[in-house]
Amino acid sequence: MNVLLTGGTGYIGGTVLGKLVERGHQVRAVVRGEEAAKTVTELGAEAVIGDLADVPWLTAQLTGVDGAIHLATLQPAGEDALLDAVFTAFQGTTKPFVYTSGLWVWGNNGDITEHSPARPTEISAWRPPRQERVRTSGLRASTIAPAPVYGHGKGLAAWLFSYGPRTEDGALRMVGSGAQHWASVHVEDLADLYVTVLERAPGGELYIGASGVNPTVREMAQAAVGPDGAVVPEEDEATRARLGAGLADALLLDQQAGGSLARARLGWQPSRPSVLDELAPR
C-alpha cells in the first residue's frame, strides 16, 4: 500500500514509519523542510515537502496514495484543514485513514473504554469534535487514542521520572501526590496498532491504544529511582507552576484503560516490557 504519513519525524511517527516499511508498504512522509526530509528518507520513506494547512496541495497529494495516517502535531485550525483535504480526496473510496486523538479526552476515569463519556481537560477540549467528525465522515476512517507513550528511553514517563527534578537532598519530585494512575503503552506496541488499524479496520470506530498496565505516578517514580531511592509528592499548584496549567491538569488525571476493543476486533496484543520495567535503572 502507498501510504501518506504525517508526523514521520516524531517519536511515535518515526516508529510507525519503520513498521510500515517493515510490512512492505511504501511511505510518503509529509515534512516541512530539507532536514526533516533527510530524517524520513533515512527511515525508508519518500519525503514530500509541503504545508499540511494548504488544503488544495494536500488534497492533491492524498489522491495519489492508497491510505493515510495522521500523527503530526497541529493546532485545531490545522487539524480542520487536514480533515478537509482527507475527506475531499478519499470521498467515494475505501481508502483507509487513521486519525490520532489522546486518552486525556476522557478525564478522570478508572475504567476508560471507547464508549466512556468525554470529559476533556483544557488541553484536550478541541479533540472530541474532530473525533466525531472522523467517526461520522462516511469514510473508512478510524481514530486511535493513545495512552501516555513510553519506550527507548523516551516519552512522558522518562522525561518526568528518569530525568525529573530532584530536591536538594536528591529525592525525585513526583507529579502531584503520586496517587493518580496513568494508562500506558509502549511505542512499539502502539506502532503495531497503527499499522493494524490501517490494514484491517473497517472504519467508523475509535480504538484506545493502552496496554492495560496502569501504574500510579508513585510506582513509576519509585521504579525510576530504584528500591533504595527517595520520591516526594508535590502540591498540585506547584506542579501547575512547574509544568504549566494545561499539561499539569492532564498529568494530574487519574486514568486506567486496557484497549479492549482493539484486542477483540483486530487481535492487537501488546507484548513489550511494561513502563515500570522500562523505567528501572540499568
Give the CATH number of the domain where residue 202 resides: 3.40.50.720
What is the overall mean pLDDT for the chain?
97
Say what the pLDDT of residue 244 is: 97
DSSP conformational letter for 105: G
pLDDT at position 71 is 98
Count up the domains in the chain and report the number.
Answer: 1
C-alpha cell at 26: 511504501
Give, for 11, the enclosing helix (H) or strand (E): helix 11-22
Q: How confident is the model at residue 49 (pLDDT cuts 50, 70, 90)?
A: very high
Count the neighbouring beta carbons within 10 Å of the beta carbon of residue 142. 25
In contact, 205 and 114? CB cutoff 8 Å: yes
> What does the block give as the cell for 249?
491538569
Residue 109 lies in a domain: yes
Is 19 among the domain residues? Answer: yes
Enclosing domain of residue 119: 2-149+185-210+258-266
Mean pLDDT of the 160-175 span: 94
List, for residues 188-205, the tens digit of each pLDDT value: 999 999 999 999 999 999
Task: Kindly state the percentage of the chain with pLDDT values over 90.
Answer: 100
Q: Tens digits of per-residue pLDDT, 90-141?
A: 999 999 999 999 999 999 999 999 999 999 999 999 999 999 999 999 999 9
Alpha helices by DSSP H, 44-125: 55-63, 76-90
What is the structure's pLDDT at 282?
A: 81
- The reply to whether 120 falls in a domain is yes
DSSP-assigned beta bridge partners for residue 208: 145
What per-residue confidence (pLDDT) applies to 113?
Answer: 97
pLDDT of residue 153: 95
Q: What is the pLDDT of residue 140?
A: 98
Check: CB of residue 79 under 8 Å from CB of residue 100: no
Q: How many CB atoms lie within 10 A of CB 11?
A: 15
Q: In what order do the strands lie in the sheet with 149-151?
A: 154-155, 149-151, 185-186
d(CA 241, CA 237): 6
Phi, psi angle pair for 58, to nearest 5°: -65, -35
**Tell me, what's the pLDDT at 133?**
97
> Where residue 163 falls among pLDDT bands split at 50, 70, 90?
very high
Amino acid identity of residue 59, one-letter, is T
